Structure 1
Amino acid sequence: MAVSGSGGLDPVTAIALVGALGIGSQWLAWRLRMPAIVLMLAAGLIVGPGLGLLDPSESFGDLLQPIVSIAVAIILFEGGLSLKFHELKDAAKGVRRLVIVGAPLGWLASALALHYVAGLSWSTSAVFGGIMIVTGPTVIAPLLRQARLRRRPAALLNWEAIVNDPVGALAAVLAFEVVLVLQTATGVGDAVWQLAVGIISASIIGVVAGWGLARAFSRGHVPEYMKVPLLFVGVIAVFTASDRILHEAGLLAVTLMGLFIANVELPSYTELRRFKEQATVMLVSGVFILLAANMDRETLMSLDVNALLFVLAVVFIARPVAVLLSLAFSDVPKAERFLIAFTGPRGVVLVAVAGLFGQRLAAVGIQDGAQMGPLAFALVAASVVLHGFTLSPVARFLGLTAADRPGVLIVGSSTWSVQLAKALEKLDLPVIVSDPNHAHLRTAREAGVEVFFGDILSEVAEDRLELVRYEQVIAATDNDAYNTLVATDLGPEFGRDKVHQIKRVKHGARYALPATLGGRPLGVDETYFDLNERIRNGWEFRVTKLSEEFTLEDWRAINPDSVIIAEFGNQGALRFLEPDMKPQGTNSAQLVVFGPQREERKDV
């Protein structure tokens, strides 16, 4: 393995190792259904202070801090890019309170915990307390994806995390400027003027840059293939320009830039956001591995009982008190208040900014400033592990998950799709049938199936439907082109292995849709018209439970003409079968089958 002259890995090998560990942790977490952040944190500690394989400070030298800063800027820009004002709706008041009231209260409560529990000076506590306002979009986003919360509590946590990240950094700047005034001969007026100029300049730079890029994109001044590269360059330029005026003001600028672009209805917004999300997954993985690996054993060993008490005070006292007071007498339900109060994981911004300001405080003679880095890492590690494993069960206990079991979204109402929906409901799965034709939904309504009248790809559907309730999609309208559009558009959001499409009607090469578009085929392998003709000829859906006494082979022997549509496993996982797939046929599994009616049958 290549090493540098100082004993660490050379930069290229270090980047390869960080990438493999980060993306590998993400994949393993997906397979094990665990919080990805926890695995990334563990991986960084193992290869860093654990085994000594990676020392980012040696491998990257003076470039480590700029690398982390640029990565954090891109992450915050992507966070701003995901914030649309129309998604706030009933959560708007709660978000305002969490930012305007909750942030100052959190600053005060955190500073008190730092001074009286961790034993830090008031100067260090004031600076560190400002940074601790942040709750980390790098951590919140993966946790929300896993916990499948309802829309409003998810919106509250997401908006608070993204908006408070630059606010927390600027609060630390304000506190540091005050400390600098007390420690040096710098005038108070100069410090306040510098802070005001920095914030105003960063805000103007971010909004103007967002406006300029949006205008250039919408008027066709930039070709499609250059939009994403131009965005990346623009983010780095805006961050650098703002940061030169005032340290950490760049975080505010890039967040406002993303927020502006997200709310101007760009035609290419979806493609831009998806690419940015993919880039953010890689950056979050890399930054977490780097920060964890960069901790040394001496620093970790320096964390004593006071550090533990400090973490407990922040998690169970400072954060809940600040949130509950800020949301008191609001229209946010009590269950949501408690969930938000006890959900405050910290992320990379806290560690990165705390390490920077800790060094600056130590440089001006405040020695306990050096403790900010270790304490920040301890808080991040503890909160990530705690909330990573508790958010889902706590949300279920409070009744704030979208559904206990992920359900199925069926696009297209017909006799066949309604009967499929009724069969899936027997498995206690949430099912909804969507159709833009009101008359088509009559069969579904009469059968008691939940329906949505409208285009599933519209913003109305995004606003009114808790899409997080559904894990699988079946495109089953009588329009093959629309089915293909739905499957292609929803594929990146749900996962292409979770989006299915009924068989297309065969046309000549002139009219055939591209085979690379659309969803996965269903095991029934028949068109819309063939499927509904089967229903008219007496076919039906049944749910059959397998056991040691009644195996898959036994079922096949008495149902030679029936087709297995899906298999519902013992652990609550639903798997739709493709034409060439075979069911696992384990004991206690339930099969959703489509076949001729039988006079004598036993549904389970």
Structure 2
Amino acid sequence: MEHINMEHFILLTALLLIIGVLTTKFSTRLGVPALVLFLLVGMIMGSDGLGIIYFNNPELAQLIGIIALVIILFEGGLQTKWSSVKAVAAPSLSLATVGVLLTTIVIAVAAKLIFNVSWMEGFLFGAIVGSTDAAAIFAVLKGQNIRDRLSATLEAESGTNDPMAMFLTLSFIELMTAKNSSIFVLIGSFFWQMGIGLLLGFLLGRFASFAINKINLDSSGLYPIFTLAFALLTYSLTDLIGASGLLAVYIAALVIGNKDLTYRHSIFRFNEGFAWMMQILMFIILGLLVFPAQFLSFGIIFKGFLLSLILIFLARPVAVFLSTIKMGFHLKEKIFLSWAGLKGAVPIVLATFPMTMGLENSQLFFNVVFFVVLTSALIQGSTISFVAETLGLNGPKKVEAPHSLELVSIGKANAEIIEFEVDDTTVIRGQKLKEISFPKDALISAIIRNGDLVTPHGETTIKSGDILYILVKKKRKRELKKYLNREFG
């Protein structure tokens, strides 16, 4: 890749992004997760494919992967409602910690027997593939009508278990390479990383929310960039003091996403698009890092597939059933949670750490992990909706706001337009506009109903599923939201 000049590099980047975006359409039609197609694009473009790009730089792939994970976790946290996470905090954290540890133990035994590696290398294998991947989960569950409690559990687990997997991976590498490493030191490091990660994520999330709303920028386009800068700042500051930057980013995003923000929808849409771009680039680059001639050997395919089956049908179910004991999940829900333990970018990125550290069998690690991710995405990712439907775990169809209006906003005028979705518990549902006693200086300016624009007038009846755009003076906004839904905002 070092021989590509600037013009060729820009052209290739443009082509890869275009191909990546177009593959998302094919992934929907084929029922295959987009990440699989992104990886295949990288493999086809690489030296063992069409030979267009030669890429063999695990350090650069690792850097791009970490940055991409920060963006993806941040976007996922922004979209997560605290009310949903709060209800599943216990099982999610149990799956993210105890579940990852149990998965690591089961896979360690399997890797030891299948690949005839040392016990420490077996545990390293388990740590690398132990976590449910946030990028895969956020992408696969988006738009699905799986029961809220299950989807919230999976999203919260995937957002918080990456730090556990990274901690275990780096810990086993340290035990293998450092002469004076101690298991007791690592235990202390675990509590430091997770505790400080949680604390800094919460504090920086609160500070970011305050700064976003108080600063008066000249252009609305600067607010999403300002917000994204806080995501990178949160990761870097937390990582600099030896705590979990990934956990801090997710917690900060969770705090920010559940606050009233200036140009909220612009911030959300920008981060959604940027997360998709980073996901495309990350998976394509990880695909480029694979050499299919090595990866598709009989030994890797046979042993990798055996390890994948053990991971899917033994390790993940053991982790789910044991880590969610007495947490209110019935048998079918536990089966679904077991099936939805998707692997994705994180295991592949973690598999670059042994390569950059020069460990023995590091190429074997990477090739096997890559195969495990592919099989997980193909087998589990493409059947999640089918399994949920078969088990009777589908919920009501999720309705997302198809439009967003931000004609005026905080800092630019004394009024703004807020968006509110009506549900069965909303106090004004079933009332005509002329019957609603809105706070002073509040006016419904538009209604979106089943994707169509409804012009409001006095006789218009508010229905469940309506998306209201309400013009309100800044000083009345809190009063209006309290009126609409006491728990809203």
TM-score by length of 1: 0.63
Task: Name the structure 2 match of 1:446.
Answer: none
Displacement of 1:151: 0.9
Task: Name the structure 1 match of 2:66.
Answer: 69
| Contact 1:94 1:332 survives alignment (8 Å) | no
1:372 to 357, 365, 373: 365
| Contact 2:447 2:454 survives alignment (8 Å) | no
Aligned residue pairs: how many? 427
1:195/1:104 CA distance change after superposition, 3 Å:
closer
User: Alpha-carbon deviations, 1:210-240, whole Å to 9, x = none?
Assistant: 2321121233355644221122223223333
| Contact 2:143 2:398 survives alignment (8 Å) | no
Task: Name the structure 1 match of 2:233.
Answer: 237
1:360/1:34 CA distance change after superposition, 3 Å:
closer
User: Alpha-carbon deviations, 1:221-260, whole Å to 9, x = none?
Assistant: 55644221122223223333444444x8332332232233
Does 1:210 pair with 2:209?
no
SS of 2:446's equivalent in the other structure is helix
User: Alpha-carbon deviations, 1:66-108, whole Å to 9, x = none?
Assistant: 2222112111222222333211354334323323432221222
User: Alpha-carbon deviations, 1:89-141, whole Å to 9, x = none?
Assistant: 54334323323432221222222222223333212222232232221111112
Q: Which amino acid aligns with 2:388?
A: A
User: Structure 1 CA distance, aligned partners of 2:286 and 2:63?
Assistant: 13
1:237/1:89 CA distance change after superposition, 3 Å:
closer
Tell me which moved more, 205-214 or 160-169. 205-214
| Contact 1:56 1:64 survives alignment (8 Å) | no
Does 1:40 pair with 2:2?
no
Alignment of 1:242-257 (within 5 A): 242-246=238-242, 249-257=244-252
Q: Which amino acid aligns with 2:256?
A: I
1:90/1:195 CA distance change after superposition, 3 Å:
closer
Displacement of 1:368: 2.3
Task: Name the structure 2 match of 1:258.
Answer: 253
User: Structure 2 CA distance, aligned partners of 1:50 and 1:118?
Assistant: 27
User: Structure 2 CA distance, aligned partners of 1:502 and 1:232?
Assistant: 35
Alignment of 1:137-176 (within 5 A): 137-145=134-142, 147-176=144-173
User: Structure 1 CA distance, aligned partners of 2:225 and 2:87?
Assistant: 36
In structure 1, runs of 5+ residues without a counterpart are 410-431, 442-453, 456-480, 488-497, 506-516, 520-604
| Contact 1:207 1:253 survives alignment (8 Å) | yes
1:197/1:397 CA distance change after superposition, 3 Å:
closer
SS of 2:361's equivalent in the other structure is helix
User: Structure 2 CA distance, aligned partners of 1:9 and 1:51?
Assistant: 20
Task: Name the structure 2 match of 1:484.
Answer: 446
User: Alpha-carbon deviations, 1:377-418, whole Å to 9, x = none?
Assistant: 111111011122211111111001225x89999xxxxxxxxx
User: Structure 2 CA distance, aligned partners of 1:395 and 1:187?
Assistant: 44
Q: Which amino acid aligns with 2:236?
A: T
Displacement of 1:194: 6.1
| Contact 1:8 1:53 survives alignment (8 Å) | no
Q: Quick one: higher RCO (CA 8 Å, sep 6+), 1 or 2?
A: 2
1:25 to 16, 20, 23: 23
Does 1:116 pair with 2:78?
no
1:401 to 354, 379, 394: 394
SS of 1:166's equivalent in the other structure is helix
Q: Which amino acid aligns with 1:285?
A: I
Does 1:311 pair with 2:311?
no
User: Structure 1 CA distance, aligned partners of 2:50 and 2:5?
Assistant: 14
Task: Name the structure 2 match of 1:562.
Answer: none
SS of 1:400's equivalent in the other structure is coil
User: Structure 2 CA distance, aligned partners of 1:168 and 1:339?
Assistant: 22
Alignment of 1:108-507 (within 5 A): 108-145=105-142, 147-181=144-178, 184-185=179-180, 202-220=197-215, 224-246=220-242, 249-302=244-297, 303-360=300-357, 362=359, 367-402=360-395, 437=428, 440=431, 482=444, 484-486=446-448, 499-502=451-454
User: Alpha-carbon deviations, 1:447-495, whole Å to 9, x = none?
Assistant: xxxxxxx99xxxxxxxxxxxxxxxxxxxxxxxxx8472446xxxxxxxx
Task: Name the structure 1 match of 2:484.
Answer: none
Task: Name the structure 2 match of 1:598.
Answer: none
1:115/1:62 CA distance change after superposition, 3 Å:
closer
User: Structure 2 CA distance, aligned partners of 1:120 and 1:342?
Assistant: 28
Q: Which amino acid aligns with 2:374?
A: A
Displacement of 1:352: 0.7
| Contact 1:98 1:327 survives alignment (8 Å) | yes
User: Structure 2 CA distance, aligned partners of 1:147 and 1:281?
Assistant: 18
Aligned-pair Cα RMSD in Å: 3.6
Tell me which moved more, 377-386 or 253-262. 253-262
Task: Name the structure 2 match of 1:84.
Answer: 81
Displacement of 1:337: 0.7
SS of 1:116's equivalent in the other structure is helix
| Contact 2:295 2:368 survives alignment (8 Å) | no
User: Structure 1 CA distance, aligned partners of 2:101 and 2:384?
Assistant: 25
Task: Name the structure 2 match of 1:558.
Answer: none
Task: Name the structure 2 match of 1:14.
Answer: 12
User: Structure 1 CA distance, aligned partners of 2:333 and 2:453?
Assistant: 37
| Contact 2:93 2:160 survives alignment (8 Å) | no
Displacement of 1:153: 1.2
| Contact 1:25 1:43 survives alignment (8 Å) | no
SS of 2:88's equivalent in the other structure is helix
SS of 1:50's equivalent in the other structure is coil
User: Alpha-carbon deviations, 1:547-596, whole Å to 9, x = none?
Assistant: xxxxxxxxxxxxxxxxxxxxxxxxxxxxxxxxxxxxxxxxxxxxxxxxxx
| Contact 1:235 1:254 survives alignment (8 Å) | yes
User: Structure 1 CA distance, aligned partners of 2:240 and 2:229?
Assistant: 17
Identity %: 24
| Contact 2:447 2:455 survives alignment (8 Å) | no
User: Structure 2 CA distance, aligned partners of 1:317 and 1:286?
Assistant: 32
| Contact 1:300 1:374 survives alignment (8 Å) | yes
Q: Which amino acid aligns with 1:499?
A: G
1:30/1:191 CA distance change after superposition, 3 Å:
closer
Displacement of 1:369: 3.4
User: Structure 1 CA distance, aligned partners of 2:170 and 2:239?
Assistant: 12
Q: Which amino acid aligns with 2:204?
A: A
Tell me which moved more, 109-118 or 307-316. 109-118
User: Alpha-carbon deviations, 1:174-229, whole Å to 9, x = none?
Assistant: 22233334xx2456676666666555554554333323211212333556442211
| Contact 2:61 2:286 survives alignment (8 Å) | no
Displacement of 1:10: 4.0
SS of 1:88's equivalent in the other structure is helix
1:80/1:133 CA distance change after superposition, 3 Å:
farther
